[in-house]
Structure 1
Amino acid sequence: LYVWTLGVEGMGDGQDKLVTVSVNPEAHDYGEVRSYESVGGRNEAHHSGFTDDRKYLHAGSLDTSKIFIFDVHTDPGNPKLVKAIDDFVEKTGGVVGPHTPYALPGRMLWTALSNNQDHGGRTALVEYTNDGEYVDTYWIPTDDDLQGAEKTGQYADGYGYDIQVMPRRNMILTSSFTGWTNYMMDFGKMLKDPEAMKRFGNTMVVWDLHTRQPKQVLDVEGAPLEIRCAWGANNNYCFTITALTSEIVLIEEDGMGGWKAEVVGEVANPSDVPLPVDFSIASDDSMIWVNTFMDGTTRGYDITDPHNPKLAHEQYIGPQINMVSSSWDNSRLY
């Protein structure tokens, strides 16, 4: 098991590192750290992801905008850093904060959160090869430059966050969060700063998977974060949940060759700002499980009818609960 960890000053070497944990119950070191690989410094380590062939792990950082590539196939129990991309901002034309990697055949497609001009939320998608060679930058549409995309509502803010791909519909879908100035700010301070709270995304973008061209900008107010698409082969829809307004949003085809976004439910009491931070969709598309950071609670919603989610389970877990994942057999929740 590979864990991409944040370095802490005064703890060990203080550096970000990839930690490998033994998870084979038959191994002599089961449940123990088998190895670690430090990367030299603290970079605000965030998400990581395997390449499509699972030979490499790409790991990003939100502060320094470096991407670290680890060889995890030569010796899986002892991965090695084989490349550090330290010219991300320069190569991409000013993109800052690589956030979410998505594996495509021979490629890694990264979302990002910011730019080096104003450190606000305008940003782009960035494409690399599996071995870390830069391919291209695809800026997210704004009012000033829609890049041929259709603006379907009142917003085109150019913000980014998460990414999902639906190959059978030739579709990439991205969401939006906030820029470097906000995400590097003390969280409590940011929540009390009226100007900072205005600097959050209100859009999702539909892209052409093959050409990487933006097709539509959809209004989804309140910082739509994670995207989860249905698993069923004929279930051509996705969900997102907004962090600031606690709304469950369904993204589906509009019957006219495009896509639409519709608010179909709420998580807890939005006026309390429970802050939904992650959710998982069951493998049979029957439930979504939502974690809310501020009240430490997990909630399950029956989405048998995706247009009408119904609360089916609610349980307090603990303060600042974050990520959640449903097991493939739908019998466990982590």
Structure 2
Amino acid sequence: MATWTPDPTFYPSPRMAMKAPHETIAYVASFDPSRQVPDAIAVIDVDPESASYSKLLNNVAMPNAGDELHHFGWNACSSCLCPNAPHPHAERRYLVVPGLRSSRIHILDTKADPRNPKIVRVLEPAEVAEKAGYTRPHTVHCGPEGIYVAALGNAEGEAPGGIFLMDHETFDIRGQWEIDRGPQQLSYDAWWHLGHDTLVTSEWGLPATFENGLVPEILLGGKYGHKLHFWDLHTRKHKQEIDFGAENQLVFELRPAHDPTKAYGFVNSVISLNDLSASIWTWYRDGDAWSVKKIIEIPAEPANPDLLPPMLKGFGAVPPLVTDIDLSMDDRFLYVACWGTGDLRQYDVSDPFSPILTGTVRIGGIVSRESHPKAAGRNLNGGPQMVEVSRDGRRVYFTNSLYGAIDEQFYPDGIKGWMVKLDASPEGGIEFDPRFLVEWPSTHRPHQVRLEGGDCSSDSYCYP
């Protein structure tokens, strides 16, 4: 008699996931900003015992050019063990890889040879638009009922953006997720509190306002996204909107507490129109409703206008541009990527309302162009952007490109791609791994990182 056992990379709780084996490979979205060469999923050796450590092992090229691979995720994860919608015999096997510009979705099978994934299905843009009613798929999360995909535009690329569901085994599109969207129009990230039947979404802008770069008039007019939306996860109805104020532009990355008994999470606002600062906010359950509180403000740094890109010369300062954050599995450390100044910051958020800065490194940056121990004093550009944390919290990986058309607005010389790794102390503190610097081929730039077996922004849990 055959015995079924759950995927060994699924864990009932974040506490158990922290004891998982160390990752040995990382998958990285790699795109050609000129849209002449197909994008790829890069496979990186992250095993310190390997002879090819810190090397690019493989590039799995997409079948078309111009996709702009951006964010991607697994078909299944630890949420398959939740009691309300269990799928304990699903496998964390496939990478679901959308093209943010093309709206094409690629399915890559990693099972036979994790270092050489194979493309097994491609959903073309017309199929996505017809079946989902959305385009520009951005965020991919494996959830209890299937694969949730947050998309930035409707079938015509206009408002509203929203969420659609895909089957986690066949990859067929089931359709639009929302039953009642209320006032929500703009879309960006989506994640949830499984223990509180709540889904949260954030906002960026419509495709026309970012595909050729940020539009200064829209940014300075406060017309990019600046709201959070809270939904009933199971009735799929909008429950509450929180407006951060139009001065807080680009309310982006959602990082809910991993412990499902905790009803709070963290989100970043990329830039303040008042003073170019960036901020981190905690959302939290407040009686019968949700509230937010600003907990971190990172100021802009004065700079010589001669060293600034045209977009910033008139301000005489470098904004931190916090474009990504990540939360360690034990909900203790929040990592904050400052793409403008080049800082990667670590905060102790054991008290989610009173963060303590416990570590910082600097690499790249619009003005500072800081180097890396392995780069022999060479100036590096770009800055900490997409950040990912290992399940045990001891290793932090990040890349340096934001989005093809936006990179040049802040780094006019064109970003030269790289990926680095930090070692994190269990008690706080971070430092570069001097052996780990992956420099990207000149044709491509790196974006999101996914780790073998899961990471701190891939899985959600139903048990504490």
TM bucket normalised to smaller: 0.7 to 0.9
Q: Does the residue aligned with 1:244 lie in a helix, a strand or coil?
A: strand
Which secondary structure state, in structure 2, belongs to the residue aligned with residue 181 of structure 1?
helix
> Secondary structure of 2:130's match?
helix
Among 60, 83, 91, the alignment partner of 2:131 is 91
1:299 to 308, 324, 345: 345
* 1:69 partnered with 2:107: yes
Aligned counterpart, 2:40: 17
Aligned-pair distance for 1:114?
Answer: 2.0
Q: Indicate which of 32, 41, 56 corresponds to 1:7.
A: 32
Pairs within 5 Å for 1:269-284: 269=300, 273-284=319-330
TM-score scaled by structure 2? Answer: 0.61
Residue type at the aligned position of 2:200: L
Write out aligned runs for 1:122-141 (5 A): 122-130=160-168, 131-139=170-178
Q: How does 1:15-164 map to 2 (within 5 A)?
A: 15-23=38-46, 31-34=55-58, 36-52=60-76, 53-86=91-124, 87-93=127-133, 95-105=134-144, 107-117=146-156, 119-120=157-158, 122-130=160-168, 131-139=170-178, 147=180, 149=182, 156-164=183-191
Give the partner amino acid of 1:3. Answer: V
* Correspondence for 2:283 among 241, 244, 251: 251
Other structure's SS at 1:88 match:
helix
Contact 1:63 1:184 in 2 (8 A): yes
* Distance across 1 between alignment mates of 2:136 and 2:153: 6
Contiguous gaps of at least 5 residues in structure 1: 141-146, 150-155
Which whole-Å CA distance do the structure 2 matches of 1:327 and 1:253 have between them? 28
Question: How far apart in 1 are the matches of 2:114 and 2:219?
Answer: 47
Q: 2:355 aligns with which of 290, 309, 313?
A: 309
**Correspondence 1:210 to 2:234:** yes
Deviation at residue 327 of structure 1 after TM alignment: 4.1
TM-fit CA distance, 1:197:
5.0
- Quickly say closer, same or farther: Cα 1:202–1:139, change in 2 above 3 A: farther
Contact 1:237–1:250, Cα closer than 8 Å, also in 2:
yes
Shift of 1:309: 2.5
- The one-letter code sitting in structure 1 at the alignment partner of 2:340 is M
Q: CA deviation at 1:43?
A: 1.2
Normalising by the residue count of structure 1, what TM-score does the alignment of the two structures yield?
Answer: 0.83
Encode CA deviations 1:100-131: one digit per residue, 9 max, x unaligned: 000024611001112354x4553110111122
* Higher RCO by CA contacts (8 Å cutoff, separation 6 or greater): 2
What is the letter of the counterpart of residue 388 of structure 2? Answer: S
Question: For residue 176 of structure 1, what is the aligned residue in structure 2?
Answer: 203
Contact 2:324 2:387 (C-alpha < 8 Å) held by counterparts: yes
Structure 1 residue 263: deviation in Å? 2.2
Aligned match of 2:298 in 246, 267, 290? 267
- 1:153 is matched with which residue? none
CA contact (8 A) 1:157 1:201 kept: no
Q: Render the CA deviation track for 1:70-118: whole Å, top value 9, x for unaligned.
A: 122233333221111112122223x22100000024611001112354x
CA contact (8 A) 2:33 2:68 kept: no
Distance in 1, Cα, partners of 2:142 & 2:35: 35
How many Å separate the matches in 1 of 2:229 and 2:299? Answer: 26
Q: Deviations over 1:39-72 (max 9, x none)?
A: 2222111111111121211001111111111122
Q: What's the counterpart of residue 224 of structure 2?
A: 200
**Residues 247 and 21 of structure 1: CA distance in aligned 2, closer, same or farther (over 3 Å):** closer
Cα distance change of structure 1 residues 197 and 81 upon mapping to structure 2, 3 Å threshold: farther
Matched residue SS, 1:45: coil
Deviation at 1:27, TM superposition (A): 6.4
Q: Aligned partner of 1:182: which letter?
A: T
The 3 A distance-change label for structure 1 pair 41 and 268 is same
Counterpart AA for 2:363: I
126-135 or 21-30, larger mean C-alpha shift: 21-30
C-alpha deviation, 1:305, in angstroms: 2.3
Sequence identity of aligned pairs in percent?
Answer: 26
- In structure 2, do the counterparts of structure 1 residues 291 and 57 end up closer, same or farther at CA, with 3 Å as the change threshold? same
Partner Cα distance (1:134, 1:3) in 2: 24
Structural RMSD (CA): 2.8
Alpha-carbon displacement from aligned partner over 1:10-46 (angstroms, at most 9, x marks no partner): 98xx112233345556767663424624322221111
Q: Where do 5+ consecutive residues of structure 2 fail to align? A: 1-25, 77-90, 273-277, 302-316, 366-381, 398-464
Alpha carbons 2:110, 2:117 under 8 Å: kept? yes
The aligned amino acid for 2:132 is: T
State how 1:221-260 maps to structure 2 within 5 Å: 221=245, 222=248, 223-245=250-272, 246-256=278-288, 258-260=289-291
Q: Number of residues paired by the alignment?
A: 314
Check whether the contact 1:37–1:79 (CA below 8 A) recurs between aligned residues.
no
User: 1:318 is aligned with what amino acid?
Assistant: G
SS in 1 for 2:195: helix
**Is the Cα contact below 8 Å between 2:178 and 2:236 reproduced in 1?**
no
